[in-house]
Amino acid sequence: MDYAALVDVYDRLAATDSNNDKRDILAAVFADAGELLPRLVTLVRGRLSPAYNRTELGVSSNLTLEAIRRATGAPETALRDRWQGTGDLGDTAVWAVENGGQQTLFSTPLTVERVHDKLRDIATYEGAGSQDRKIDALAGLLADADANEARYVVRTALGHMRVGVGEGTVRDAIAHAFLDGSTAAITVVERAFQVTTDFRVVAKTARDEGRIGLDSLDIDLFRPVQVMLAEKTESLTAGLADAAGDGEGLCEYKYDGIRIQVHVRGNEVRLFTRRLEEVTEQFPDVVRGVREAVSAEMAVLDGELVGYTPDTVRTDDREPVPFQELSRRVKRESNIEAMAREIPAVVHLFDCLTDGETLLDRPLSERLDRLRAAFEPVDPDPGAVRAGVEHSRSVRAAATDPGPAETLYRGALDAGHEGLMIKNLDATYQPGRRVGRLLKLKPTMEPLDLVVTRATYSEGRRSEWLGRLYLGCYDPSVDSFSEVGRLSTGYTDDELAALTDRLEGLVTARDGRDVDLRPAVVVEVEYEEIQPSPEYDSGYALRFPRFLGVREDLDPTAADTLDRLTDLYRSQSATNG
């Protein structure tokens, strides 16, 4: 398939604001894709791999700019001026191809296969000279591209397509291309994606085997499942009533840690975060603890990984470390075992998704029985670089007798944790969904997870750092971010310096001391209240936002949504009114 044909699809997607039109465009493409279907279902979102395997090209905006310069001969100063003016390196590439002056005598027309496979190859380049190899490989594609092709090659390399296609659009397009497009068909496709996290598998199965094949898709070891998510409740008794009705609900500590999915087959253990990122190498202590604890030959277990201070981790009065301190371990690439001793961990397990038999459709009460049978608790031992593995602390309680839950709630807060989880014991496991049978209770308005969309350099002592950050919430209906305010407090100097280093690699345009950014960094923010505001395109502004830290475990599309912000504002207004 000529890449120009896919570029035409991108243009048609970008030209319409209608989600139904986007769906229909993609459905037609998928239906005629043939053997290219697995590539196309990821490429239409500018991705090169499934959700659980987030291939990073390691190509920054500046490296991409250099690739454009090498491919077209356009002067760097002129390129930077265009970049600053448009805020889009894809548009800059168009200008460079049309005005750079460098002609390729013997160009080879681009194909979808070549663009996809070459970009995936770039992600594998490592070691000395790898940056130059990445630039040359990307420049090679651009040298054979016409102006519009160059736009989308660059956007794909940077992972920001600007065509308004989200996961929901791809899901619906698959349902319309290969099933009947009904609500029931969409639900079947959605569930298949939730258990596989791979639209390549889902699309091919839908085409080749239909609904029966999709229904048969199941948990596969070492391919993470989307986690079940919780809604918020305002009180303990309301939460028990909502989650369990007249019966008993399960109340557990809500730990302030990293959601962790543990996959085990024999002696092989692999770990995945809530955003489906594999972190096995960063947590050798957890791997060691799981190997000792889990007796099941194969299992997928759900839990929370919590860091504790070294002096207290082996006591009954453990002191949890702040989430931001624990998150340092996620990005650690050297002296990993030393870090494991410095911030020892305990995995608090609370669900079993499979023990050789898939349990997603079984009630929580049965999954807990299977969890108890799957492992025996192991104590943490920082000296031996072994994490603890244990059950989450829990009790059963009813709305008519919340006493045991109240005691557990106070205990959780006194121990430095966030609050309680309240669960329906009859509930099935629903990957990727926020459901009323899984609730969370926290004592104050919980912080928001928001994406940094643009920034301004600070003044005075911090003038070299990007200290004024504009924050966006995610709008899944258009796969974009709506701004909700500006953040400028709460950082230490070290945090701000590290944050600036990350953000400068994401710059898409500069205007004096202001920069636009590729939306890739999620930050946790506390605030006093949400106010209506015409200044930001969300219609809201956070009052006195304060930086709490970077959410290393969250993808930008997992940030808090515009709908959630609206719900919080209404809830706040009702309370204050």
Tokens, residue 447 = 């912080």
Tokens, residue 280 = 């096995």
Are 146 and 4 in contact, with CB atoms under 8 Å apart? yes
pLDDT tens digits, 133-173: 999 999 999 999 999 999 999 999 988 888 989 889 999 99
**Of 455, 451, 453, the residue nearest 514 (C-alpha):** 455
| Candidate from 184-193, 458-467, 529-538 with smallest mean pLDDT | 458-467
| Confidence category of residue 27, pLDDT binned at 50, 70, 90 | very high
Sorted by where each begins, the domain ranges of the chain are 46-158, 229-441, 448-576
CA gap 498, 504 in Å, rounded: 10
- Among residues 134, 254, 423, 440, which one is catalytic? 254
DSSP letter assigned to residue 331: T
Name the residue type at position 130.
S
Name the residue type at position 544.
F
Q: pLDDT above 70 covers what percent of the chain?
A: 97
When the candidates are 3.40.50.620, 2.40.160.100, 2.40.50.140, 3.30.70.920, the CATH number that belongs to 448-576 is 2.40.50.140
| Confidence category of residue 102, pLDDT binned at 50, 70, 90 | low
Tokens, residue 156 = 């794909």
- Would you say residue 106 has pLDDT above 70? no
pLDDT at position 525 is 92
CA gap 291, 375 in Å, rounded: 10
Tokens, residue 498 = 């590290």
User: What sign results for the dihedral spanned by CA atoms 518, 524, 527, 530?
Assistant: positive
CB atoms within 10 A of CB 522: 24
Are 272 and 260 in contact, with CB atoms under 8 Å apart? yes
| Confidence category of residue 108, pLDDT binned at 50, 70, 90 | confident
Cα→Cα distances 377→290, 387, 392, Å: 9, 11, 11
Instruction: Identify which has the larger pLDDT, 103 or 397.
Output: 397
Tokens, residue 238 = 């309301």
Class of domain 46-158: mainly alpha
Query: Domain 229-441: which topology?
Result: D-amino Acid Aminotransferase; Chain A, domain 1 (3.30.470)
Query: Could you write out the three-class secondary structure of 357-424?
Result: CECCCCCHHHHHHHHHHHECCECCEHHHCECEEEECCEEEEECCECHHHHHHHHHHHHCCCCEEEEEE
Length, in residues, of the chain: 577
pLDDT at position 494 is 84
| Confidence category of residue 485, pLDDT binned at 50, 70, 90 | very high
pLDDT at position 573 is 63
| Confidence category of residue 543, pLDDT binned at 50, 70, 90 | confident
Catalytic (active site) residue 254: yes
- Would you say residue 435 has pLDDT above 80? no
DSSP letter assigned to residue 460: G
